[in-house]
A and B are shown apart, each in its own frame.
Chain A
Amino acid sequence: MKHQASVASRLYGRLDDVSGEAGYAEHPPRVGFFTDTSVCIGCKACEVACKEWNALPDPDAGVLKLSGESYDNTSALGASSWRHVAFIEQGPLDAGAPAAGGLSPADVLGPALAGLASPDSVAPATRWLMASDVCKHCTHAACLDVCPTGALVRTEFGTVIVQSDVCNGCAYCVSACPFGVIDRREDDGRAWKCTMCYDRLRGGMEPACAKACPTDSIQFGPLDELRVTAAARVQELHASGVTDARLYGADPDDGIGGAGAFFLLLDEPEVYGLPPNPVVTTKDLPAMWKWAGGAAALLVAGVAAAFAGRRP
C-alpha cells in the first residue's frame, strides 16, 4: 500500500486508500452507503432513526409548516437534518429528458394550473421518485480540505466527521461543500453533518439509518463490495426494463474521487436536487495560490513604483 500518494492525486482524482492518505497506518476497509432509490418507499424511517440516535435538536414548533412539495416537509439536508427524503411526482411526459410541454415537479406549483379546463389535459402521475439523501463522505472532501481548525477529519473507516469539540464555527465548509450538505447551526455556532454514526462504527454497529430502512434501500458496508452490488443492481433493473437506472457518485475517477455514500437514481441528479457533475474545489487550489502570489507581487511592485521617484 503505497502511502505517499503523489501530491496531485492527494487533492483530486482517484485515491484508493483514503484513510492511509490521512495518516492511518492500519485501518479497517473503507465503509459507506449505497442508496438504491428504486426500492425507497419514502417512509422517512432514516430521518427519524438518525435524529433519535444523534439526539438532534427539534425545530421549534412554530416553524412546522406544510411545504406543498409532495410529501417532503424536511426540504433539505442541514445542520439538524442529516437525512432528507426527496419526493418527486412525475407523469409520463417528464420522465427522462424534459419535453417542452411536460410538467416538471417545479412548475406544478406555478401558473401551469391556470389554463386547465378538461380533466385529461394533465397527464396522470405514473411515477413517484423517492430518495433518501445524505452526506456523500467524498473521497476528496472539500469541507475537510478547507477546514482551518482540523475539526473536519477523515476517520479510520474512511468517513468524514466534524469534531464538535474543535469546530469554532468559521463556516468555510458550508460554502465549500458541492452538495450543500453541511451547515452551521446558528444557535449552537458549530457546523454539523452526518458522521455515518462514527460512534456506532467504533462499537462495530451499523449506522442507525441503514439499520432502520425497511426495504434496505440504504445499504451499509465496505465500499468496494457496495460498488459491485450496485453495478449488478443496475444491470438487473435495465434487464427488467427500467432503463433510467444509473449510479451517481460511484465512479472513483469522478470530480470528487467517488463518494463514500453513492446512489442508484432513476432520473437526472438535478431532479433530486443533486449537482449533475460536482468537482471538489481543491482541484484548482494550486492555480488559485499562483494567482494570489502574482497579485501579491503586483501589489509590491505597485508600491515600489509609487515610491520609485527620487527623494530630493
Chain B
Amino acid sequence: MDPRGRLGKWPVYRQLTGRDQLGRGTAARSPGTEAAAPRTESADRVVSSICPYCAVGCGQLVYVARRDGTDAVTQIEGDPDSPVSRGRLCPKGAASKQLVTHPGRQTTVLYRRPYAAEWEPLSLDRAMDMIADRVVAAREQTWQETWQGKRVARTMGFASLGGATLDNEENYLIKKLWTAMGAIQIENQARI
C-alpha cells in the first residue's frame, strides 16, 4: 500500500501511477471485489444428497453453515461425481435450496377442529397422542375378522395414501406398521 495510505486508495491516483490509466480494471477495483469469494467456502460442512423431485436421482451437494447458533443450508447444487447427472440439475433440482429454506414452509403443527373455519396451533406431542387414539378407535370400530365366511383379520377403518416421495426406510416402516395393524387400504402415487 502506498505510504500516503488514503490517497493510495483513490482510484484516480491509481490510474495515474498504475498500469490501468483508463480506470477499466485494477485501478477501479473496490474492497468488495477484492474480498469476493464463494459462500460455499464458509460452509461448515458439505453433505452428499439426492434430489427429491423426480426419479432420475441426480446427485446433490448440500452446503450447511452455522449462523447465529443455528445450522442453515446456504447452497444446494449438483454433485459432479454422480454417474447419473455429472453435477447437472434441472430447474426443480436447482431450486432445492429454496424448497428447504423458503418461508412458506409450514414447520409447526396445525389442527382444525371439526366444522371450524380456521386452523389452530397444537403441540406435536399432543397431536401424536390424538392421532394414535383415533387410529386405535377406528381400528376397533371397523375390525373385520371374517369376510364372506373366510378369515381376513383386517380393518377398513382408515386408509393411507403416499410413499413415492418418501425414503425406502419410511415406506418400509409404514407398510410394516399398517400391515401389522390389519389396515389394508394403503396406496401411493405409483398408482396415479
Of the candidates B33, B91, B97, the one whose C-beta lies within 8 Å of that of A163 is B33
Once the chains are docked, how many angstroms separate the CA of A150 from the CA of B27? 9
Least distance between A177 CB and chain B CB atoms (Å): 16
At the interface with chain A, which of B35-43, B112-120, B158-166, B169-177? B35-43
Known: A199-B38, A214-B88. A53 touches B24 (CB 8 A): no
B93–A45 CB distance below 8 A: yes
At the interface with chain B, which of A200-208, A241-249, A257-265, A270-278? A200-208
A214–B90 CB distance below 8 A: yes
| B22 proximity list for chain A (CB < 8 A) | 10, 22
Of the candidates A23, A25, A165, A216, the one whose C-beta lies within 8 Å of that of B31 is A165
**Quick check: is A238 within 8 A (CB to CB) of the other chain?**
no
| A48 proximity list for chain B (CB < 8 A) | 91-92, 94-95
**Quick check: is A235 within 8 A (CB to CB) of the other chain?**
no
| B50 proximity list for chain A (CB < 8 A) | none
| B59 proximity list for chain A (CB < 8 A) | none
B residues 73-130 near A (Cβ < 8 Å) are 75-78, 80, 85, 87-95, 97-98
B residues 140-164 near A (Cβ < 8 Å) are none
B91–A203 CB distance below 8 A: no
B88–A213 CB distance below 8 A: yes
B77–A23 CB distance below 8 A: no
Chain B, interface size: which category? Answer: 35 or more
| B23 proximity list for chain A (CB < 8 A) | 150
**Quick check: is A3 within 8 A (CB to CB) of the other chain?**
yes
Interface string of B11-51 (1 = CB under 8 A from A): 10000001110111111111111001111110000000000
Once the chains are docked, how many angstroms separate the CA of A48 from the CA of B22? 36
Of the candidates B18, B32, B89, the one whose C-beta lies within 8 Å of that of A165 is B32
A3–B40 CB distance below 8 A: no
Least distance between B169 CB and chain A CB atoms (Å): 29
**Quick check: is A93 within 8 A (CB to CB) of the other chain?**
no
Once the chains are docked, how many angstroms separate the CA of A211 from the CA of B40? 15
Once the chains are docked, how many angstroms separate the CA of A10 from the CA of B97? 43
B30–A165 CB distance below 8 A: yes
Of the candidates B26, B39, B93, the one whose C-beta lies within 8 Å of that of A22 is B26
Least distance between B115 CB and chain A CB atoms (Å): 31
Known: A52-B97, A214-B89. A199 touches B24 (CB 8 A): no
| A163 proximity list for chain B (CB < 8 A) | 28-30, 32-33
A residues 38-55 near B (Cβ < 8 Å) are 43-45, 47-49, 52-53
Known: A22-B25, A24-B25, A212-B88. A198 touches B36 (CB 8 A): yes
| B88 proximity list for chain A (CB < 8 A) | 45, 211-214, 216
Of the candidates B24, B37, B89, the one whose C-beta lies within 8 Å of that of A212 is B89
B30–A166 CB distance below 8 A: yes
Once the chains are docked, how many angstroms separate the CA of A164 from the CA of B80? 31
Once the chains are docked, how many angstroms separate the CA of A145 from the CA of B23? 9
Of the candidates A3, A49, A197, the one whose C-beta lies within 8 Å of that of B94 is A49
Once the chains are docked, how many angstroms separate the CA of A3 from the CA of B180? 79
| B38 proximity list for chain A (CB < 8 A) | 197, 199-200, 202-203, 205
| B87 proximity list for chain A (CB < 8 A) | 211
| A197 proximity list for chain B (CB < 8 A) | 38
| A137 proximity list for chain B (CB < 8 A) | none
**Quick check: is A219 within 8 A (CB to CB) of the other chain?**
no
Least distance between A105 CB and chain B CB atoms (Å): 23
| B32 proximity list for chain A (CB < 8 A) | 163-166
Least distance between A13 CB and chain B CB atoms (Å): 16
Least distance between B39 CB and chain A CB atoms (Å): 7
Of the candidates A19, A21, A53, A144, the one whose C-beta lies within 8 Å of that of B75 is A53
Once the chains are docked, how many angstroms separate the CA of A10 from the CA of B88? 38
The 6 closest A-B pairs by CB, nearest first: A22-B25, A23-B20, A150-B28, A23-B26, A203-B38, A165-B32
Given contacts A23-B18, A48-B92, A212-B93, 10 further A-B contacts (CB under 8 A): A23-B25, A52-B95, A144-B24, A166-B32, A198-B36, A199-B37, A203-B41, A211-B77, A212-B90, A214-B88
Q: Pick 9 A–B contacts, CB within 8 A, sort by A.
A: A44-B91, A45-B93, A52-B94, A150-B27, A164-B32, A165-B31, A211-B77, A211-B78, A211-B88
Chain A residues within CB distance 8 Å of chain B: 3, 10, 19, 21-25, 43-45, 47-49, 52-53, 144-145, 150-151, 153-155, 161, 163-166, 197-200, 202-203, 205, 208, 211-214, 216
